[in-house]
Structure 1
Amino acid sequence: MMAVDESKESMHALSWCLANLVSATSNSTLVLLYVKPPPSIYSAFDIAAKSRKRSWERRGKGCVICNTVEKLGADTLVMGSHGYGFLERAILGSVSDHCAKHAKCPVVIVKQPEEN
């Protein structure tokens, strides 16, 4: 199973998955799970609430992905990484970290190559 959203990191992970894990001769099925929360509107004075909401949205995405993995009986989960640092992950949360800890199958996290 491949979890995707509209990010460039997700599209890179999908390309990597197609090039490295899925082949024309394999008998496996690739399931794409599109997870994108609805956009939220905030005022300039609501930054703290926005950070908390993003953290909950990310955790919610992780729960949706892990629940779908379990429901479909996926044998591998592939997803991209936004490359957040420690502080960003602590404040905003990380879907890939959540899934790596809670998914009922191996999780492959594909990092975006560093831009020079």
Structure 2
Amino acid sequence: MADKVLVIGVDETEHSFYALRWMLQHFFGPNDIPHNLVIVHAKPPPSSVLAISGPGAENVLPLLDEDLKKIGNRTVQRAKEICIEHKVQNVTTEVVEGDARNVMCDAVEKHHASLLVVGSHNYGVVKGMNLGSVSAYCAHHAHCSVMIVKRPPKPME
């Protein structure tokens, strides 16, 4: 029987890395069925981040694109380090340009994943509607089970 494939979407937030750690603790123990893990970071296109046009825009977009690539590479590198800490092997990482909702659903199809894991930013209904919830989109459109991992609230001091 082939190993099952789990896909997790990561961004540079602590919510994302919490979801990764949670998943590693719950699915990658010594007695668990072996899984292949695919870590995917969706790099937004520079034009979606910077809404400028006119003279000078062509000079700014390549610089912004380079910064977005660095963020993506740093993000997947940190995710790899977390996997090493948890002694998890069979890890593939990808930085894919595009809208995170589509990138995650496409990764599920590409890798024939049986589970997609995404973190939740806990934005709430109003802010989530304005920003567009990646987790809600994936829950409705991914062709596999979707697990949304919420980071517990920080205790009041």
Residue 37 of structure 2: aligned partner: 30
Shift, 1:71, TM fit: 1.5
TM-score, normalised relative to structure 1: 0.78
The answer to whether the 8 A contact 1:22-1:30 is kept is no
Structure 1 segments, 4+ long, off by >4 Å, are none
The answer to whether the 8 A contact 2:44-2:99 is kept is no
Residue 10 of structure 1 aligns to a residue whose secondary structure is helix
CA RMSD of aligned residues (A): 1.8
Establish whether residue 20 from structure 1 lines up as the match of residue 20 from structure 2. Answer: no
TM-score, normalised relative to structure 2: 0.59
Q: Which runs of 5+ in 2 are unaligned?
A: 1-6, 53-97
Superposition pairs of residues 82-93 of structure 1, within 5 angstroms: 82-93=121-132
Distance of 2:105 and 2:12 partners within structure 1: 19
* Number of positions where the alignment pairs a residue of Structure 1 with one of Structure 2: 101
Q: Which amino acid aligns with 1:35?
A: A
Greater strand share, structure number: 2
Which has more radius of gyration?
2
Distance of 2:105 and 2:132 partners within structure 1: 15
